[in-house]
């Protein structure tokens, strides 16, 4: 159970994070909040404003590990601060037998420097941890996704169609690659309960996943050129590179276009437009 100090810590750390550092527009005029507003923290952490309020006021005393991790990420806590926040929540900090989801300050600085490039960070199970605005504009806004909706493997087998153009052959190759990659993660983190539940749901709900999982194949989902069908700017064929962070198994996915091409122009337009809906 969280102590009263949990809410005080969240409020104290919220006050020190500027909206600019979090990639948020400051707008104009006077800001009453010294750092992030509650609604800004809620948006960054993927939880409701009411829940942030209740946590800060000590009226919500049982935050889940996922909520604490999301708050630590949004508040840009150091490793020691993150551990402290877990303990204030009455939870044991995640150990080496669980899939790492902590975005280190160095990775966060990398994301800050790539603010004009579509970038997303996934954990070893291909669960989306954070996506910057250009990534959301390119691939669709993930801010409303919850639970397994944020997992790339789940979305490939059980979710709605995405924007990446796939032939029957390329889809089957992608399915095989992501299942083989997930099996590697399951072998590395056998005690991770969230990963176990994900695999169990996929096996129960998708015959194709079950077939691939039972084959025992292991491997890695690697970079590729992808064609994205965007509803407003049309098709873009982009380079998709995946960088793995040593020691944490985080995957940084980056989309880029060759300079001077039509794709580069369309990508630049998307970055300006963001996720707004265009009206003819």
| Residue 277 confidence (pLDDT) | 46
What is the chain written as a DSSP string?
---HHHHHHHHHHHHH--TTTTT----SS--SSSS--HHHHHHHHTS-HHHHHHHHTT------HHHHHHHHHHTT--HHHHHHHHHHTT-PPP-TTS------HHHHHHHHHTTTS-EEEE-TT-BEEEE-HHHHHHH---TT--GGGGBHHHHHHHS---SB---HHHHHHHHHHHHHHHHHHHHH-TT-HHHHHHHHHHHHH-HHHHHHHHTT-------EEEEEEETTTEEEEEEEEEEEPTTT--EEEEEE--TTSHHHHHHHHHHHHTTPPP--
Average pLDDT over the chain reads 88
279 has a pLDDT exceeding 50? no
Residue-wise pLDDT tens digits, 113-161: 998 899 999 999 999 999 998 999 999 988 888 889 999 999 999 999 9
* Residue position matching structure tokens 């044991």: 92
Q: Per DSSP, what are the bridge partners of residue 130?
A: 121
Structure tokens at 41: 């923290």
Parallel/antiparallel/unpaired status of strands 128-131 and 251-256: unpaired
- Name which of 30-39, 226-235, 239-248 the model is least confident about: 30-39
pTM across the whole model: 0.82
Collapse the DSSP code of 2 into the 3-class scheme (helix H, G, I; strand E, B; otherwise coil) and give the result. coil
Structure tokens at 75: 């508040």
- What are the chain's domains? 4-88 (1.10.260.40), 105-273 (3.30.450.180)
- How far is 185 from 37, CA to CA, in rounded Å? 36
Residue-wise pLDDT tens digits, 208-242: 999 999 998 888 777 788 999 999 899 999 999 99
* Best CA proximity match to 51, nearest among 107, 81, 6: 6
* Residue position matching structure tokens 């409020």: 11
Query: Would you give the end-to-end CA distance of the chain in angstroms?
Result: 52
Q: Per DSSP, what are the bridge partners of residue 227?
A: 237
- How far is 111 from 272, CA to CA, in rounded Å? 18
| Residue 275 confidence (pLDDT) | 57
Residue-wise pLDDT tens digits, 173-214: 999 999 999 999 999 999 899 999 999 999 999 999 999 999
């Amino acid at each position: 159970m969280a102590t009263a100090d949990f809410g005080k810590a969240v409020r104290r750390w919220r006050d020190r994070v500027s909206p600019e550092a979090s990639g948020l527009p400051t707008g104009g005029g006077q800001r009453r909040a010294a750092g992030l507003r509650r609604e800004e923290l809620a948006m960054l952490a993927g939880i409701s404003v009411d829940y942030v309020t209740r946590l800060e006021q000590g009226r919500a005393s049982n935050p889940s590990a996922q909520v604490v991790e999301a708050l630590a990420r949004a508040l840009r806590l150091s490793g020691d601060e993150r551990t402290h926040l877990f303990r204030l929540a009455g939870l044991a900090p995640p150990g080496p037998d669980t899939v790492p989801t902590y975005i280190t300050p160095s990775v966060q600085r990398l994301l800050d420097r790539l603010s004009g490039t579509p970038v997303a960070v996934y954990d070893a199970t291909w669960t989306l941890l954070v996506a910057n605005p250009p990534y959301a504009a390119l691939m669709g806004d993930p801010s409303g996704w919850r639970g397994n909706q944020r997992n790339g493997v789940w979305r490939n087998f059980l979710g709605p169609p995405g924007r990446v153009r796939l032939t029957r052959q390329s889809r089957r190759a992608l399915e095989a690659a992501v299942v083989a990659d997930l099996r590697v993660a399951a072998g590395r983190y056998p005690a991770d309960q969230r990963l176990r539940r994900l695999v169990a749901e996929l096996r129960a709900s998708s015959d194709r996943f079950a077939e691939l999982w039972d084959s025992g194949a292991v491997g890695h989902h690697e970079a590729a050129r992808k064609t994205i069908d965007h509803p407003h700017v049309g098709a873009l064929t982009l380079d998709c590179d995946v960088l793995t962070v040593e020691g944490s198994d985080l995957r940084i996915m980056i989309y880029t276009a060759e300079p001077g091409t039509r794709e580069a122009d369309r990508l630049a337009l998307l970055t300006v437009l963001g996720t707004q809906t265009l009206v003819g």
